Amino acid sequence: MKKTLTGAAALMMGATPLFAGGIERAPQSLAALFEEGNYVELSFGGVDPTVEGTDALGFRTGDVAQGYGFAGLAYKHQFTPNFSGALIIEQPFGADIRYPRQPGLLPDPAAEGSVLLGGTFARVESTTFTALGRYKFQNNFSVHGGIRGSRAEAAVGLNGCAYTDPRLPVPCTGGVSGYDVDLDSSTGVGWVGGVAWERPDIAARVSLTYNSEVDHDFDTVERGPLIDPDGPAGPAPFLPLLDGTSTTTVSTPESWNLEFQTGVAADTLVFGSIRWVEWSAFRVDPRQFTTVTGGGLVDLEDSTTYTLGVGRRFSDAWSASASFTFEKQGDDLVSPLAPTNGRKGITLAAIYSQGPMKITTGINYTKLGDASPETGTPDTARARMEDGDALGVGVRVGYSF
């Protein structure tokens, strides 16, 4: 039962991730480290989200969330009966948000495209490489830990009337509308550590893992509109205050993962996880932008995500599982670059086992929480995003040897 159904638990916790807190796409699970013997696995899939709404002027935003694919690779080696190691490659963080622009020169109520946010975008790409070791004691406890290297890059653009200067008499002029920043590819290093308890005869395991923050120093290029430093009534001319090059330090947030599973009856496994991420410490503060505006580009809340599922083996070859995921809603006002608030999801998986090979296929549907993007004007919603959802599929192929 353990060999067959643990594949379901692993897929539920990592193969079809969807819009978790902040810009998270995968929960950094270490499930491969707990496989028996030597083991290698490949996972891949795709997610198609839909996030749309209406801006505060009544114009439809269109679908602002772009679909994405993901892939992962893990290799675990059993060096001795008590010591093993693993290498895990995955893409835990990412974003692709784009608000369509209004076509033409004059706003058209019948067309999709936000007047307040049209042209705003955020793109984040990352890949992590985690090298781990695990030592098993004789009392069912074990410790694990290692280092994590992360490669990331990003680009952000702010456009639309929501980013203009409301003091100016001409609509949609001034302010920071037209600002964009490129954060060049950067590598950072962090660490992982944890403890686990197992009872193999009932397929029971509880593991707690800490993931440290990872600091990235990005070479940064900022461009933006001319800024009037003393307003329309002042004597100072417009200046290129948003233009410049610098280094921006961004830290991916620290997190805790609690994962568990246990057999509850013949051929039946219950599994789940609790994941907490300190997104409030995640800051993106390019030098020119923060000097001009007094604030950064990102302001997120900490997130806690709960997963609970059950797996069932029907034959030597076939098993299946179902799991539910919940992340509570926070403050209704959110960043336009992360325009959802909480989520509820269900994942179904089928597992086919043949000799040393195990193929797990999963499908996930997630209902995304409604949210109101705001742009640095506290308590002022610039749009309302409602009825968002996402559909994801994932495949994981594992081989034991």
Higher pLDDT, residue 28 or 112: 112
pLDDT confidence of residue 167: 64
Higher pLDDT, residue 6 or 132: 132
* Rounded Cα distance, 285 and 128, in Å: 23
Is pLDDT at 353 greater than 90 in this prediction? yes
Is pLDDT at 304 greater than 60 in this prediction? yes
Q: Token digits for 2?
A: 């353990």
In CATH, 2-400 is 3.30.360.10? no
* Interval 164-217: pLDDT, tens: 866 666 677 778 999 999 999 999 999 999 999 999 999 999 999 999 999 999
Question: What is the total residue count of the chain?
Answer: 401
Is pLDDT at 309 greater than 80 in this prediction? yes
Q: Which of 24-28, 169-173, 210-214, 289-293 has the lowest mean pLDDT?
A: 169-173
* Rounded Cα distance, 384 and 375, in Å: 13
- Model pTM? 0.90
Domain ranges for the chain, please list them.
2-400
* Interval 75-125: pLDDT, tens: 999 999 999 999 999 998 999 999 999 988 788 888 999 999 999 999 999
Cβ distance 323 to 339 under 8 Å? no
pLDDT confidence of residue 175: 84
* Interval 277-287: pLDDT, tens: 999 999 999 99
Band (26; pLDDT cuts 50, 70, 90): confident
Higher pLDDT, residue 45 or 228: 45
| DSSP annotation of 161 | G
Q: Which residues pair with 332 in a beta bridge?
A: none
Q: Token digits for 315?
A: 């034959």
Higher pLDDT, residue 150 or 17: 150
Cβ distance 318 to 351 under 8 Å? yes
Phi, psi at 234, each rounded to 5°? -85, 165
pLDDT confidence of residue 375: 87
Mean pLDDT calculated for residue range 59-70: 94
* Rounded Cα distance, 171 and 53, in Å: 22
Q: Please state, for a pLDDT cut of 90, what percent of the chain lies above it.
A: 75
pLDDT confidence of residue 180: 95
Q: How high is the mean pLDDT of the chain? A: 89
Is pLDDT at 7 greater than 60 in this prediction? no
Q: Which of 6-10, 13-17, 32-36 has the lowest mean pLDDT?
A: 13-17
Is pLDDT at 5 greater than 70 in this prediction? no
